[in-house]
Amino acid sequence: MKALPNTFTQTLFICATRRHVPETTYDLTLLSFDPTEGENFGGYIVLGSTEVTVKVPACDLIKAEVAALENARNQVLAEAQVQANRFTHQIQQLLCIEHQVQP
C-alpha cells in the first residue's frame, strides 16, 4: 500500500448564496469544485478561489476503514432492529384483536 503524502493541496472556491429570510443575508461556503462549471450551479456566487495546503495526520488507514465499516454496520443493524420491533408490535396488535360477532 502506498503511503499517504505529508501534505495535501486543494483549490477551494469561496462562494456566497443568498438566504431566503432575511433576503439581505448571504451564507458563505467553501467548495472543492467550481460551481459555475456545468448546467446547474445552485445559485452560488463565486467570490474567488484560494489554494489551501494542509498537513495530513498520520494514521493507520486499514484500522480507520475497519472502524468506519463497523460503525456503518452497527447503524444498519440498529435501524433494522427498530423496524423489526415495529413489525413485531404490529403483529402483536393484530393477534390481540378480539373477533366478536355483532348482534
What's the confidence (pLDDT) of residue 86? 96
Are the C-beta atoms of residues 48 and 30 closer than 8 Å to each other?
Answer: no
What tens digit of pLDDT does each residue of 35-87 get? 988 776 778 999 999 999 999 999 888 999 999 999 999 999 999 999 999 99
What tens digit of pLDDT does each residue of 15-37 get? 999 888 777 789 999 999 999 88
Are the C-beta atoms of residues 15 and 35 closer than 8 Å to each other?
Answer: yes
Contact residues for 50 (Cβ-Cβ < 8 A; gap 6+) = 11, 12, 14
What's the mean pLDDT in 5-24?
Answer: 90
Contact residues for 9 (Cβ-Cβ < 8 A; gap 6+) = 51, 52, 53
Name the pLDDT band for 13 (thresholds 50, 70, 90).
very high
CA distance 93 to 100: 16
Q: Provide the grid cell at 38.
A: 456545468
Strands (E), 19-83: 26-31, 45-55
Name the pLDDT band for 100 (thresholds 50, 70, 90).
low
Q: What are the extents of the domains in the chain?
A: 7-55, 59-97
pTM, rounded to two decimals: 0.58
Name the pLDDT band for 102 (thresholds 50, 70, 90).
low
